[in-house]
Amino acid sequence: MAVCPVYTTQSLNSTCSISTPSKTHFSSHHNHLVFYRTSKRTSKRGGSSSCVITCSAGDSQTVVIGLAADSGCGKSTFMRRLTSVFGGAAEPPKGGNPDSNTLISDMTTVICLDDYHSLDRTGRKEKGVTALDPRANDFDLMYEQVKALKSGIAVDKPIYNHVSGLLDPPELIKPPKILVIEGLHPMFDERVRDLLDFSIYLDISNEVKFAWKIQRDMAERGHSLESIKASIEARKPDFDAFIDPQKQYADAVIEVLPTQLIPDDNEGKVLRVRLIMKEGVEHFSPVYLFDEGSTISWIPCGRKLTCSYPGIKFSYGPDTYFGHEVSVLEMDGQFDRLDELIYVESHLSNLSTKFYGEVTQQMLKHADFPGSNNGTGLFQTIVGLKIRDLYEQITASKTAAPLQATKA
């Protein structure tokens, strides 16, 4: 049970509102709040009893995960892989705004940080700022609401409607077991960053981003090649200034680059994907290939793994990233037969699987998701399993702590 950083005077009815110093209001429900009504503190003021509110997250505190990436870089696909690791499908809030960006499953709630745009589409146009610009986003509210959810308090979160480009009335978000905040700026504001138990950055190189955008926006949304190019160019200065620098804070980065197996490849279909894992992060131990800490290059193609041109190459080893010690696992190329991934899985350690072959099973389950035949799908799945492990470790340490205190 955590003590709320705020006190309020309210009548003891079923809903309580909490005021923060910046006067933002959260509404919370009995199942997330515990009321203390002591004789010392109880007083009558205009018919209301005063109460001190402490908050409880129920069984456990909400674990908060940040996922940063530019638009169209595979966040939704990653989220679908992550929520699948926890079981159950993620769906928008029942009976709510059909244009809600939130996805809820038994264990997880994924909120999209676009909902904290402070300027709607017209407002951004008038002021001449992009959605990537911090001036178009309300970081105070983002901080207060993520902090409240982490402490077990429900919030009324705004909704940015991508269809109309307007800010819609807010939706109630209850504290989940795992809260994922995904979007352009989860690690931009230091206060929000400090609330994250784990952070991930999807770093898609310009060449690959362009290929994916063309595939989606031209094929599926009917945009012209020129308009896609123009939109990427228009976003680039703000992307470089405000989004890209966040990768230095990430605990894990999935970097997606053109292949090195095909000389001068410009198709962007075969990918070289690097999983950069920070050392020394609490509750997270990096995955390794064959021998922890060694530098390894491995071409698994042959008797046990079918590879057509240009083949598959894995690499693993220590490195530094923005001054941090990291381990890097790399896969260049793509699988011909996904069921043979078990051969690769059996050579990886520290995967945090619950049974032999769980990575392969997850990948086969979502074989139709983009990136299932290459390192993007493989590493997203592995990070999903590491997040499950992190959640279980945090929960176990929280339940063990009061026991230890009782013993002492």
Binding site for ligand ATP (CB under 6 A): 69, 71-77, 212, 215-216, 370-371, 376
Nearer to ligand 5RP, 218 or 261 (CB): 218
The enclosing H or E element of 315 equals strand 312-321
| Identified binder of ligand 5RP from the candidate list 53, 119, 131, 250, rule CB under 6 A | 131
C-beta of 233 vs 368, nearer to ligand 5RP: 233
Pick the binder of ligand 5RP from 56, 110, 111, 114 (CB under 6 A): 114
Indicate which single residue of 92, 93, 123, 165 sits in contact with ligand 5RP (rule: CB under 6 A).
Answer: 165
Please report the beta strands in 100-216, taking only residues with DSSP state E, as ranges in sequence order: 103-104, 108-112, 155-160, 167-173, 178-183, 198-204
> Which runs of consecutive H residues, i.e. helices, occur in 57-138?
75-85, 121-127
**Residue number of the CB atom closest to ligand ATP:** 371
77 binds, among ligand 5RP, ligand ATP, none (CB under 5 to 8 A by kind): ligand ATP
β-strands 198-204, 8-9 pairing = unpaired
Q: Of residues 179-208, which lie at the interface with ligand 5RP (CB under 6 A)?
A: 183-184
Nearest alpha-carbon partner for 67 in 236, 193, 231: 193
Instruction: Look at residues 246, 235, 186, 181 and name the one whose alpha carbon lies nearest to residue 213.
Output: 235
Closer CB to ligand 5RP, 165 or 317, in the complex = 165
Report the residue number, 300 or 371, with the smaller CB distance to ligand ATP. Answer: 371
Handedness of CA 314, 320, 321, 325 (dihedral sign): positive
Q: Judged by CB, which is closer to ligand 5RP: 161, or 334?
A: 161
Q: Which does 76 bind (CB under 5 to 8 A by kind): ligand 5RP, ligand ATP, none?
A: ligand ATP
User: Of 67-96, which residues contact ligand 5RP (CB under 6 A)?
Assistant: 71
Q: Is residue 79 a contact partner of residue 178, using CB atoms and an 8 Å limit? A: no
Q: Is 162 in the site for ligand 5RP (CB under 6 A)?
A: yes
Instruction: Report DSSP letters for 54-68, one per residue.
Output: EE--TTSPPEEEEEE
Cβ neighbors of 285 (< 8 A, separation 6 or more) are 350
Nearer to ligand ATP, 212 or 288 (CB): 212
CB nearer to ligand ATP: give 143 or 160.
160
CB under 5 to 8 A by kind: which of ligand ATP, ligand 5RP, none does 24 bind? none
Residue 74 partner contact from ligand 5RP, ligand ATP, none using kind-dependent CB cut-offs of 5 to 8 Å: ligand ATP
- Site for ligand 5RP contains 49 (CB under 6 A): no
In a 13 Å sphere around the CA of 129, the CA atoms on its Cβ side amount to: 15
Contact of 150 with 61, CB cutoff 8 Å: yes
| Least distance between ligand 5RP and beta carbon 306 (Å) | 38
What whole-number distance in Å separates Cα of residue 113 and Cα of residue 149?
Answer: 14
CB of 36 to ligand ATP, least distance (A): 43
Helix (H) or strand (E) holding 148: helix 139-150
User: Beta strand pairing status for 155-160 and 33-36?
Assistant: unpaired
Pairwise CA distance, residues 206 & 214, whole Å: 12
Is 121 near ligand 5RP (CB under 6 A)?
yes
Q: Let me know if 27 is exposed, middle or buried by CB neighbors in 10 A (0-12, 13-18, 19+).
A: middle
Applying CB under 6 A, the site for ligand 5RP has a residue count of 8
165 binds, among ligand ATP, ligand 5RP, none (CB under 5 to 8 A by kind): ligand 5RP
List of residues contacting ligand 5RP (CB under 6 A): 71, 114, 121, 131, 162, 165, 183-184
